[in-house]
Chains A and B, each alone.
Chain A
Amino acid sequence: MNLAHYLGLLHRAQVNLADAFRQVADAHAEEPDIEHLCQQQAKRCDAHAEQLHPFVVRYSEDAPDEPDRLHSQLFTGTRTGGIGLLRDLQDLYLMAAECDITWTVVGQAAYGARDKELLAVVRSCEGETAIQLKWLRTRMKAAAPQALVVAD
């Protein structure tokens, strides 16, 4: 069963997203809402990873070797300034989008595996990931005109 690989992918994506949220929070501490909400969302990602961990362990017992090019690198550090903030939020958005689609895929697999416990985790977490995407979109929409059209 290859589900273990997707669980591992999702687990690592959540850990990476938590880390990226924290880096963006630190880099843009002068934007108080960004700092506060990125820290808050980092904790949510931590909780997601924690809830996934037992399933990663359980399914890895009978998993074949990990396929090539499973993981992708979406974040290479923060930037500065108004447009830098926009780009950093865009990185977070793409990372959250990867988590979002991976929850969907893992959720489908949970159905196939008749794994009600895993399905419950997916149901409670995927909604929070969707809110992350929504918040990032909201914040970027508000920031974009000033950063791209107005600022020097």
Chain B
Amino acid sequence: MVDRIADPWGERTPYGPGQQWPVRVDRYLADGRGDADVDRWVQSASVLHSNGDALDIGVADGRIVGVRGRAVDRINRGRVDPKDLYGWQANHSPDRLTRPLVRDGGRLVEADWDTAMGRIVARSKELLDGPGGWGHFGFYTSGQLFLEEYYTLGVIGKAGLGTPHMDGNTRLCTATAAASMKASFGTDGQPGSYTDVDHCDAIALWGHNVAETQTVLWMRMLDRRRGPNPPAMLAVDPRATPVAREADLHLAVRNGTNVALMNGLLREIIRRGWYDNDYVDAHTLGFEELCRIVDGYPPQRVADICGVPAADVERAAELVGTSQRLLSTVLQGFYQSNQATAAACAVNNLHLVRGMIGRPGAGIYQMNGQPTAQNNRETGADGDLPGLRNWDNERHVEELARLWNVDVDTIPHWAPPTHAMQIFRYAEQGSIKLLWISATNPAVSLPELHRIRQILTRPELFVVVQDLFLTETAELADVVLPAATWGEKTGTFTSVDRTVHISDKAVEPPGEARPDLDIFLDYARRMDFRNRDGQPLIDWSGPEEVFEAWKECSRGRPCDYTAITYEKLRGGSGIQWPCTDEHPDGTERLYTDGHFHTDPDYCETYGHDLATGAEFTEAEYRAKEPDGRAFLHTVEYQPSPEVPDDEHPLLLTTGRTVYQFHTRTKTGRAPQLNQAAPDVWVELNPADAARFGIAEGDLVGVSSTRGAIQARARLCGIRPGVVFLPFHYGYFDQDPADRTPRAANELTITAWDPVSKQPLFKVAAVAVTKLADGRGVPSPAPTVGGSAPPADADVPPTIGGPAAEATSGKE
């Protein structure tokens, strides 16, 4: 038995370079059940993070009773993240939505599906009638639906309504990953494979607290670290996360200065001759410009900007500069920060100049935060066109028009699809009049929440929310549609390293709840969208038909699914795209021959100026003659739009704990997870705490120019001058009459990266004040993870106890 709350990562299974990662099958069955008490196991994968861990859902008497990892799968080899071990219990939560709700007389009241859909369709038809009708529609979807659902939604938006106003909350989590890969390599698509962990001799984690966000990937890294010839490790993070504590070198940089650090590292690598001149010459463009810019970042200047010792900058350059098989992973510390796309591109630069790409151990993971974010990017339910096509390439748009049998001008392609923050701005200004939100909770997860609530409550704005629960967002809706979730519907989704999994339906959804796909198909039917021949635009009836249609859309593109079938996905391991007749078992790594997706007829973008987001034209792009070479994009460091001042002297960064996911819609309803991290806390460095007279457990007010919240203080190893808030905590489980402000996003700034348009959650200036004494009671922060208190602190450890007893075995 193992308590996976007390120990989220479980027992080590060490291995050496080039060896296969040993199997370890994790399992949790509720109420003391054993395998004999399970009627059947249904194949699926994780939806509570982006790692794509394959697991089976245990079913007994028509209900989910537990999960176990799939030993056969290439990603997790049987392991399961604690969020997945316990999180499925939310499916059974008594407050699941089981009937549609409509707003009558200011209140949400139960209704039947006909009434709810009828209201949406009536409003839609009214808005669509007249020139520019398309522009009144906005769709804000998720990183947690299935591929088939996104693709259907994308077709509805682009070919049915003809609106560019569709994006996902992937904008908050993964937009910079996509933007940086498009910019550097020509298209989206992860170069590396998770098996690069098995082969690497160094791992650099750039703003990526993988121990808490993708625990199974961290287990793999830890197992290499405990085996023979372990990889060296570099962590860049202002917090003392488990990754930072494990790493050989930790650079606790000042938030918002990543570009300065990367420029400094590249300078050292070039000056010391640690780059691969032949690779640079043959496979890249922009080396001279890179050298010119990074030359201005000697270690001492980097040290001054980033607030780290100059000697550590040199040590870090040596660690990444002298490795033979370097693996980099990048996440929110770069993506949600200042100069996001430029910083992520700089990591690509590091690998390109060292020739560290496309071979075992030499890999890059531009990570995702959510389980199905990758599919949103592929299918074009976000700011992309389906099949990683280029909106500015008329031929690409014509391919879609032929596929859907619509006029090419039906598909909006005069500009990139509208990004989420702009969609909300149009809604604020009143030109978007219908906003359809599916499987996400912007009333907790977007920046500057008072503004978001104001927008969602505008009387002129018709808000549709499709979710499992009455979230903080759903409370403000005009129509609420009860959705089925993971385990209650069938579909596919794709991990960070392009591995496609199927998730089969295990049980019936509660009450009248419906799969999101069925809801979208029902809308398309009721709207009577037609193609050019007057036939229904969308004639699919179930997920497998949509998947087959999607395969055609993906044909010949980087994310080619054409040789994948539902049948092939069942029984064995997930499969990495591209998977074609020539490569029927999928493709482990991209760019193995140093030939990148930058051909002008193939690429996904003609490129941007990284400082402003200015778009280059096709003619300008062609003039660069990329010829399969990758781009080295380099920019000067620029300070964040908001920096601390006398009134707001501290820098706020927001983030995650291992026990919660997003706005706790599911994890907050799984008892073991919720008890481990039940309420918000604020992390302070002891030196800052002393300056403000704050002790562990004290109630602290944290304020920015946009709002104020209250949280109990955790004194821990965060960088001095920086405070941290977990962004998970909203208001759904507080008494509506007595809601104390606690959501981190009350404080964050409305600002975004000029290229990826990802909001800057990591750089708000805040003030802290002590509001009440904690009287010796510690804060509710877990003692596991980035919020771990010092060893000598008198804080009881976070444990799960008997209710969290799981098993783990080398089967």
Q: Within B311-367, which residues are at the interface with A (CB < 8 Å)?
A: none
Task: List chain B residues, Cβ under 8 A from A138.
Answer: 613-615
B299 to chain A, nearest CB (A): 26
How far apart are B391's CB and chain A's nearest CB, in angstroms? 11
B430's partner among A31, A33, A37, A152 (CB-CB below 8 A) is: A152
Chain A contacts of B415 at CB under 8 A? Answer: 141-142, 145
- State which residues 618-675 of B face A: CB under 8 Å: 638, 641
CA distance A149 to B615 in the complex (A): 23
**Chain A residue nearest in CB terms to B135:** A150
**A40 / chain B contacts, CB cutoff of 8 Å:** 611-612, 638
Q: Which of A135, A146, A152 contacts B614 (CB 8 A)?
A: A135
Task: Point out which of A131, A146, A152 has the most chain B C-beta atoms below 10 A from its C-beta.
Answer: A146
Q: A150 contacts B431, CB within 8 Å? A: yes
Interface contact B751-A150, CB-CB below 8 Å: no
- Least CB distance from B600 to A in Å reads 18
Whole-angstrom distance between the alpha carbons of A41 and B421 in the complex? 22
Q: Which residues of A contact B135 (CB under 8 A)?
A: 145-146, 149-151
For B211-238 the 0/1 string (1 means CB < 8 A from A) is: 0000000000000000000000000000
For residues 5 through 32 of chain A, which have their beta carbon under 8 Å from a beta carbon of chain B? 30-32
Q: Which of the residues B134, B416, B611, B641 comes within 8 Å of A142, measured between beta carbons?
A: B416
Are A152 and B616 neighbours in the complex by a CB distance under 8 Å? no
List, in ascending order, chain A residues with CB within 8 A of B132's CB: 145, 149-150
Known: A31-B425, A146-B135. A151 touches B613 (CB 8 A): no
- What residue in chain B is nearest A41 (Cβ atoms)? B612
Please tell me if B131 contacts chain A, counting CB pairs below 8 Å: yes
Q: How far is the CA of A135 from the CA of B431 in the complex (A)?
A: 24
Q: Which of chain B's residues 581-613 have a Cβ closer than 8 Å to chain A?
A: 609, 611-613
B134 contacts which chain A residues (CB < 8 A)? 150
Q: In the complex, are the beta carbons of A131 and B611 less than 8 A apart?
A: yes
Q: What residues of chain A lie closer than 8 Å to B425, measured between beta carbons?
A: 30-31
Q: Which residues of B contact A135 (CB under 8 A)?
A: 609, 612-614
Size class of the B contact interface (CB-based, 8 Å): 20 to 34
In this assembly, does B754 line the interface, its C-beta being within 8 Å of a C-beta of chain A?
yes
Which residue on A lies nearest to B608, using beta carbons? A138
1/0 contact string of A136-147 vs chain B (CB within 8 Å): 011001100110
A136's nearest neighbour on chain B, judged by CB, is B614
Answer yes or no: A123 CB below 8 A from chain B CBs: no
Q: How far is the CB of A74 from chain B (nearest CB, A)?
A: 21
* B contact residues around A32 at 8 Å (CB): 421, 749-752
Does A116 lie at the interface of the complex (its beta carbon under 8 Å from any beta carbon of B)? no
* Interface residue ranges of A108-138 to B (CB < 8 Å): 131-132, 134-135, 137-138
Q: Verify A82–B638 contact, CB threshold 8 A.
A: no
A152 to B134, CA, bound (A): 13
Shortest beta-carbon distance, B218 to chain A, in Å? 35
Instruction: Please determine whether B431 and A82 come into contact, CB atoms closer than 8 angstroms.
Output: yes
A71 is an interface residue with CB less than 8 A from chain B: no
When distances are taken between beta carbons in the complex, the residues of chain A under 8 Å from B611 are 40, 131
- Verify if A36 is at the interface (C-beta below 8 Å from B): yes
Interface residues of A in 36-61 (CB under 8 A from B): 36-37, 40-41
Q: How many chain A residues touch B (Cβ–Cβ < 8 Å)?
A: 23
Give Cα distance in the complex from A31 to B428, angstroms: 11
CB pair A146–B426 under 8 Å, yes or no, is yes
Which residues of the partner chain A approach B614 to less than 8 Å between Cβ atoms? Answer: 131, 134-135, 137-138
Bound together, the chains give a CA A54 to CA B167 distance in angstroms of 49
| B contact residues around A132 at 8 Å (CB) | 612
User: Which chain B residue shows the least CB distance to A36?
Assistant: B641
**A residues less than 8 Å from B421 (CB atoms):** 32
In the complex, chain A residues whose CB is within 8 Å of the CB of B750: 32
Cβ-based interface call for B136 (8 A): yes
In the complex, the chain A residue whose C-beta lies closest to that of B431 is A151
A137–B426 Cα distance when bound, in Å, is 19
Say whether, besides A40-B638, A135-B614, A146 and B754 are in contact (CB < 8 Å).
Answer: no
Q: How far is the CB of B755 from chain A (nearest CB, A)?
A: 11
| Given A37-B612, A40-B611, A142-B416, A151-B429 contact (CB < 8 Å) | yes
| CA gap between A36 and B431 in the complex, in Å | 23
A82–B132 alpha-carbon span in the complex (Å): 15
Measured between alpha carbons, how far is A37 from B132 in the docked complex, in Å?
Answer: 29
Q: How far is the CB of B651 from chain A (nearest CB, A)?
A: 18
CA distance A131 to B641 in the complex (A): 20
Looking across the interface, which residue of chain A has its beta carbon closest to that of B749? A32
Contacts of A131 in B (CB 8 A): 609, 611-612, 614
Q: Which residues of B are at the interface with A, using a C-beta cutoff of 8 A?
A: 131-132, 134-136, 414-416, 418, 421-422, 425-426, 429-431, 609, 611-616, 638, 641, 749-752, 754
Partner-B contacts on A (CB < 8 A): 30-33, 36-37, 40-41, 82, 131-132, 134-135, 137-138, 141-142, 145-146, 149-152
Apart from A138-B615, A142-B415, 11 more pairs, CB < 8 Å: A32-B750, A33-B613, A37-B612, A134-B614, A135-B612, A135-B613, A146-B135, A146-B431, A150-B135, A150-B136, A151-B429
10 smallest beta-carbon distances between A and B, as pairs:
A150-B135, A134-B614, A135-B614, A149-B132, A135-B612, A150-B132, A142-B415, A151-B431, A138-B615, A32-B750
Q: Could you pull out 29 A-B pairs where Cβ atoms are within 8 angstroms?
A: A32-B421, A32-B749, A32-B751, A33-B613, A37-B612, A37-B754, A40-B611, A131-B612, A131-B614, A134-B609, A134-B612, A134-B615, A135-B609, A135-B614, A138-B614, A138-B615, A142-B418, A145-B135, A145-B415, A149-B131, A149-B132, A149-B135, A150-B135, A150-B136, A151-B135, A151-B430, A151-B431, A152-B430, A152-B431
